Amino acid sequence: MTYPSVRFAREFVAALAMHGVEDYVLCPGSRSGPLAHALAEAVEGAEGAPRVTMHVRIDERSAAFLALGMARGLAASGTPRPVAVVTTSGTAVGNLLPAVMEAHHSGIPLIVITADRPRELRGVGANQATDQVGIFGTFVQWSSDISAPGESEPTGRAAQLAARAAATALGDGASDEAWAAPGPVHLNIEFREPLAAAGGPWPAPVRVDAPYSGAIPASTADDAVGQPLPSVARGVVVAGDGAGDAARIVAEAHAWPLLAEPTSGARTGDACVAGYVHALGTPAGRDLAAQVELVVVIGRPTLTRGVQSLIAQAPTLLVAAHGARWREAPAHAAKVLQRVPRAWLDRPEVTPDRAWLDAWLEAASGLPVTQGWNARAVAGAWVAALDAETLALVGSSGPIRAIDRVAPAWPVGRAPQVTANRGLAGIDGTVSTALGMALGARRPVEALMGDVTFLHDVGGLLVGPLEARPDVRIVVVNDGGGTIFGGLEHAAAPAHRVERVFTTPHGVALGPLCAAYGVGYALVTSVEELAVALRRAPRGVEVVEALVPGHNESEPPSR
Ligand SMILES: Cc1ncc(C[n+]2csc(CCOP(=O)(O)OP(=O)(O)O)c2C)c(N)n1
Ligand SMILES: [Mg+2]
């Protein structure tokens, strides 16, 4: 006989598969055992079970970022699907929060499944029992506390939950907020003993469609159709994270400069002012910025203060939250749209004058060539090695900003896919996100991150011997700590204090650390060595340590 917990777990896994959820990250634990058995059976090819992939990880924080990376990888491959992460009860659940927050802010479909004690064991001092219900608060688009499956389990309950979970995670169907966007959902499932598999056949799958259709409410759809952009000469298009190619088309149609962050998906074409960060710091650039009549923001820009002040000062601002979730538009935004209206993509009736765009390109052309061996030189060599086929991830802090300065405007259609966890710009979970991207996209990933970022999630290197090993190369810019703070207002404090409380030197030897995890390792100390190291495709997980002089050193730190 099949016990109710196990039967329900099988039904649930089968139903999720019907709605396109086929990828799982599983963390070990007893309470989640019914799901673990069901997933293992499916992976082992049990008769009647769906085809799924399962990656097992010990650390739930890293597991959740792995799932987030997998969802990024699937989306990057043109097949956006939710990815599920499964944990046991107790602190295991709390470890998922950082990735859930990032998924919420960057609009990534995650299905978080946490096992819980049944009601009779809650609040009575039972081991590993806590209040997991609604633990993710406003960071999930839906959460449900699911009572323990029993002998008289209603047929179709698992199917209904799966349908709703998958649809809500993908942002299909609008909630009361009328902003349908992908994001995380949480299912907290009570399991009562027995928790182990007991053989028996898999259930015949039941399909239930989501309780609502995928239609966007008319109020937002209307807005998205039609008004052309105001016909001003001095417009600027800012393409932030997730903007997509529409930003380029809008800029080119109006001959406006395109200021495109590396993860915008729009850093291409003739209107793209690749050196905009440099330009905005020069007198000529500031003069141009002062003349701007209209800023069109697409996606979510987060990287430079110059762009933030351009937006803050702009007389008119139109925001299209294309791709990335952006419910929090600046208060002075004249209009906030969910999509780029078709009318913005058409050339205006009056042929635009290129002089304005040319002035921006001219202001940006004086970018000094990077010399020597430092974080920016590493970024330059790294970005030069990317091609149109590359799937890349860049860590927060210095690396993404260095890339923003050195990356070119790629030819249209020939840009690498550059991603970053810009939802909350955390330095956590970056190693796991990179590995997840490679597993989700089923192709190699090139990652660039700082030393503190790498060490924060070094546990992400733990890929057990029974697990699939993705091909990921992680270039670690090791400048001996978090050097971004040296460029912020904190740097005015006494050096020893800045060092201890902001830079946080770590003194970790990365080579032996990688060896302990069984991960490939190479040290490079020049642009030439780095270029050579990047020449062949990564095989398995590899770390390339680019050891550069630290914040207060002129020579690379010695070992
Ligand atoms: C989870 C999290 N904790 C703290 C921060 C604040 N923070 C931003 S950058 C940074 C240091 C990053 O250092 P590193 O990765 O070495 O990059 P670098 O600044 O040297 O370029 C820290 C701690 C953050 N963004 N995310
Ligand atoms: Mg650093």
Per-residue model confidence (pLDDT) at position 176: 43
Is residue 436 over pLDDT 50? Answer: yes
What is the whole-number distance in angstroms between the Cα of residue 431 and the centre of ligand 2?
Answer: 15
Residue in the structure block whose two tokens are 């060490």: 455
Question: Atom 17, ligand 1: which residue's CA is nearest?
Answer: 450
Question: Atom 24, ligand 1: which residue's CA is nearest?
Answer: 426
- How many helices (H) does the chain have, and how many strands (E)? 20, 17
What is the whole-number distance in angstroms between the Cα of residue 546 and the centre of ligand 2?
Answer: 11
Q: What is the pLDDT of residues 270-314, one digit of tens each?
A: 999 999 999 999 999 999 999 999 999 999 899 999 999 999 998
Q: Are 2 and 198 in contact (CB under 8 A)?
A: yes
Question: Atom 12, ligand 1: which residue's CA is nearest?
Answer: 482
Report the pLDDT averaged over residues 130-149.
95
What is the whole-number distance in angstroms between the Cα of residue 532 and the centre of ligand 2?
Answer: 22
**Whole-Å CA distances, 164 to 5, 111, 141, 218, 488:** 20, 11, 11, 22, 45
Per-residue model confidence (pLDDT) at position 554: 42
pTM of the predicted structure, to 2 decimals: 0.94
Per-residue model confidence (pLDDT) at position 154: 81
Question: Atom 25, ligand 1: which residue's CA is nearest?
Answer: 426
Q: Which residues line ligand 1 (CB under 6 A)?
A: 395-399, 425-428, 450-453, 479, 482-484
Per-residue model confidence (pLDDT) at position 217: 41
Give CA–CA dist 395/420, Å, rounded. Answer: 6
* β-strands 53-56, 235-239 pairing: unpaired
Per-residue model confidence (pLDDT) at position 179: 55
Give CA–CA dist 195/484, Å, rounded. Answer: 49
Q: What is the pLDDT of residues 30-78, one digit of tens each?
A: 999 999 999 999 999 999 999 999 999 999 999 999 999 999 999 999 9
Per-residue model confidence (pLDDT) at position 404: 97
Q: Which amino acid is at 314?
A: A
In testing the pocket of ligand 1, which one of 102, 427, 433, 553 has its CB within 8 Å of the most ligand atoms?
A: 427
Give the full edge-to-edge strand order of the sheet including 520-524. 417-419, 391-394, 445-450, 472-478, 541-547, 520-524
Report the pLDDT averaged over residues 401-423.
97
- Residue 425 Cα: closest atom of ligand 1: 25
Q: Residue 535's Cα: distance from chain center in Å?
A: 26
Per-residue model confidence (pLDDT) at position 207: 76
- Residue 481 Cα: closest atom of ligand 1: 16
Nearest C-alpha neighbor of 293 from the set 257, 249, 339? 257
What is the whole-number distance in angstroms between the Cα of residue 374 and the centre of ligand 1?
Answer: 18
As a whole-number percent, the residues of the chain with pLDDT over 70 amount to 92
Q: To which H or E segment does residue 239 belong? A: strand 235-239
In testing the pocket of ligand 1, which one of 378, 397, 401 has its CB within 8 Å of the most ligand atoms?
A: 397
What is the whole-number distance in angstroms between the Cα of residue 101 and the centre of ligand 1?
Answer: 17
Question: Atom 10, ligand 1: which residue's CA is nearest?
Answer: 482
Residue in the structure block whose two tokens are 């590359």: 390
Strand, coil or helix: what is 57?
coil
Give CA–CA dist 357/528, Å, rounded. Answer: 35
Per-residue model confidence (pLDDT) at position 523: 98
What is the whole-number distance in angstroms between the Cα of residue 133 and the centre of ligand 1?
Answer: 31
The band of 220, judged by pLDDT with boundaries at 50, 70 and 90, is very low
The band of 17, judged by pLDDT with boundaries at 50, 70 and 90, is very high
The band of 369, judged by pLDDT with boundaries at 50, 70 and 90, is confident
Cis peptide before 194 (omega within 30 of 0): yes
3-state secondary structure 134-147: CCCHHHCCEEEEEC
